[in-house]
Amino acid sequence: MKITKNSASALIIAGMLLAGCSKSATPTTSSKADSKAAAPESEVAKINAPNQGENSNRNLTKSEIPVDNFEYIADQFADIRILRYQVPGFEQLAPQEKELLYYLYEAALAGRDIIYDQNYKHNLRIRRTLDALAENYKGDRNSEDFKKFMTYTKRVWFSNGIHHHYSTLKIQPEFSQTYFAELVKNSPDAKLPLNQGETKDAFVKWISPIMFDPKIAPKRVNQAAGQDLVATSANNFYEGVTQKEVEAFYAKKENKNDPRPVSYGLNSKLVKEKGVIKEKVWKIGGMYDPAISKIVGWLEKAQNVATDPAQKESLAKLIQYYKTGDLKTWDDYNIAWVNDVTSPIDVVNGFIEVYGDPLGMRASYESVVSFKDMEATKRIKAIGDQAQWFEDNSPLMPEHKKKDVKGITAKVITVVVEAGDAAPSTPIGINLPNANWIRKEHGSKSVNLGNIVHAYNQAGAKGSALSEFAWNPEEIERSKKYSSLAGDLHTDMHEVIGHASGQINAGVGTPKQTLKSYASSIEEGRADLVALYYVMDPKLIEIGVMPSLEVGKAEYDGYIRNGMMTQLSRLALGEDVEEAHMRNRQMIAKWAYEMGKKDNVIEKKTRDGKTYFVINDYNKLHNIFGQQLKELQRITSEGDYKKAEYLIETYGVKVDPELHKEVLARYAKLNIPPYSGFIQPKLTPVMQGGKMVDVKIDYPKDFTQQMLEFGKNYNYLPNVN
């Protein structure tokens, strides 16, 4: 699971919002702090830079943020801002550690083609076409049409395909089909992905409807109730099958009484060929073999230079998994990975988060390579060390509490590279593994992506929407003073405590089996509510991670403001909410608003024609969050599909069109893009006598150049897989 830049309430720059709680979190229990945080409202920049020592929890207002000479903002187009991040401490690593990171870096990028193909079966051929035109078009490259073409191309790169990375709606070109045909005509045949014997005219005739017709593959992930979610989703996880056929296929395999179930469907495409339904497994010798073989080759090099025995073992099991595609081996790898708690260098690599599958079964490829930030880890570790106390004192029903919370490894990491579903749009927090039984029996790892958050905050210091959407000066000042720390604590508790809490009743089955398409939103909501409940608890003051309950109030202000209003800036007028993290935030906020109506806990106010949502009683809202948490855990523990459906469809999906129109109009004046992502650092080995003696790190500035380089250097899969 992952938490993205928009899922923890006070997170500041318009960013990405996990999986891994990326964008995406998964229906099982993880969370890529959500692409995949707080409102997209650049409220105030927070500093979470490494090595701040005893002052690491001091919150700085925008005017106090120390300015460095690094250029964090590289580009801006459409609804996207492209950022850069630094990797502090890399130069001080030992040569062998750098070598290990280099091999993991190459392994990560080797899977880039996979995410494109998973997102849509024609994405690779389209991307290669756009790459060729962007680099080789011989006509006027300064015209308005060409600028529109480049904007479309960069949007496709950013989304890893032709569907928007967050809404999953098809991206519509703003140039004409006639102009596209001209681009192709004035580019070299040899650079285009033409089939053998195919003419340019035939190629244009084939590709144009796929790119331009809004009725063809209109949405990558459809979550609309009452529809066949498989047939109406454009992703490449299924072919020739219906939702009912998929569910029936796995119903025969799954055993709800199995205490250690494998994650059926996680690493395969389900197809019907000659009337027979079967899985095409992603492994060496199977689907995606050319890319996976490259990944494994680099992982084997990494295993050879790894010095920690636990890390060697986990890499060996990951390699074995990629070679066999065996899901039991995947579980064995996750257990070994969780048990590796001493290695300073870490990697997430595999088919991890299932946000891209409307049924929550099939996982997208991603990789995050990092090393531990020792000093910044102190805050998140202090929370993880109290996991049992948080479980024992939660408002859950006694039978839904874990009696023995297994080891939670909590740390802040310095990211070296992100790839697949984790880039360019990135999580800010990750909690893995996703399998409930592994988390219960073996524990989990929860991480905060420290240098990513720092880069967001540095970029966010250049613009703020706080004064536009906050009700009064008191709320604004509280946010400026405390929302930075509030956002950090929300992310920490969401990942470290939230996803690790609670247990499922025996024989009920996993959330994927019982809650189905609502599992992700319910799980993310459950983890959010753990964070919201405890951010107003004096325990955080007692353990030294929070100075006062004013921090909790700042978090409540931001979360309600975001869930009720500001996240709507991410939707086009007329759209429903379909992304899992956005659904869970709106569900919690609207449900809380209704629960507190009698006592006017949250009040809807208007001033000068503008709408605001104001919290009148923080203690009562704290109690409401506790009641909501108790109910979401009950739904998860008992597998109550009907109640999950009711909560999501009643509170999480529908949008007030007038309020939505107002939010869009107010945001339009601010020129703050709702989404951000990153150019990746570049690692280059320094060789001497055939041996790697060092690794150089550079920070590219040109998004287009990096995308074109990646397209050439990691171009492993055929056009159609």
10-19, 406-415, 565-574: which has the highest mean pLDDT?
A: 565-574
pLDDT, averaged across the chain: 90
Residue type at position 579? E
Supply the pLDDT for residue 407.
Answer: 65
Per-residue confidence band for 35, with pLDDT thresholds at 50, 70 and 90: very low
Name the more confident of 512 and 602.
602
> Rounded to whole angstroms, how far apart are CA atoms 179 and 656?
38
> Rounded to whole angstroms, how far apart are CA atoms 531 and 401?
16
> Rounded to whole angstroms, how far apart are CA atoms 35 and 21?
7
Residue 221's SS3 state is coil
Is the confidence at residue 58, as pLDDT, over 70? no
Is the confidence at residue 16, as pLDDT, over 80? no
Neighbours of 703 (CB within 10 A): 22
The radius of gyration computed from the CA coordinates of the chain, to the nearest angstrom, equals 24
The pTM (predicted TM-score) of the whole model is: 0.82
> Rounded to whole angstroms, how far apart are CA atoms 374 and 369?
16
Supply the pLDDT for residue 61.
Answer: 37
What is the average pLDDT across 422-426?
97
Residue 675 bridge partners (DSSP): 80
Residue 456's SS3 state is helix
- pLDDT tens digits for range 36-56: 433 333 332 222 333 323 233
Name the more confident of 542 and 446.
542
Is the confidence at residue 356, as pLDDT, over 50? yes
User: What angle in degrees, to the nearest 10, is found between the helix axes of 123-136 and 200-212?
Assistant: 110
What is the average pLDDT across 51-64?
33
> Rounded to whole angstroms, how far apart are CA atoms 7 and 491?
8
Supply the pLDDT for residue 534.
Answer: 98
Residue 709's SS3 state is helix
Per-residue confidence band for 462, with pLDDT thresholds at 50, 70 and 90: low
Supply the pLDDT for residue 49.
Answer: 30
- pLDDT tens digits for range 107-160: 999 999 999 999 999 999 999 999 999 999 999 999 999 999 999 999 999 999
Name the more confident of 3 and 26.
3
Q: Which of 317-326, 430-439, 552-561, 699-708 has the lowest mean pLDDT?
A: 430-439
Residue in 587, 338, 558 with CA at minimum distance from that of residue 438: 338
> DSSP for 323-379?
HH--HHHHHHHHHHHHH--S-SEEEEEEEEE-TTSTTS-S-EEEEEEEEE-TTTHHH
Residue 172's SS3 state is coil
Supply the pLDDT for residue 458.
Answer: 86
Contact predicate 475/439, CB 8 Å = no
Phi, psi of 202 (to 5 degrees): -65, -40
Supply the pLDDT for residue 5.
Answer: 59
C-alpha angle with apex 433: 432 to 439, nearest 5 degrees?
105
Supply the pLDDT for residue 406.
Answer: 76
Q: Which of 354-363, 440-449, 689-698 has the lowest mean pLDDT?
A: 440-449
Is the confidence at residue 582, as pLDDT, over 90? yes
Supply the pLDDT for residue 289.
Answer: 98
Neighbours of 112 (CB within 10 A): 24
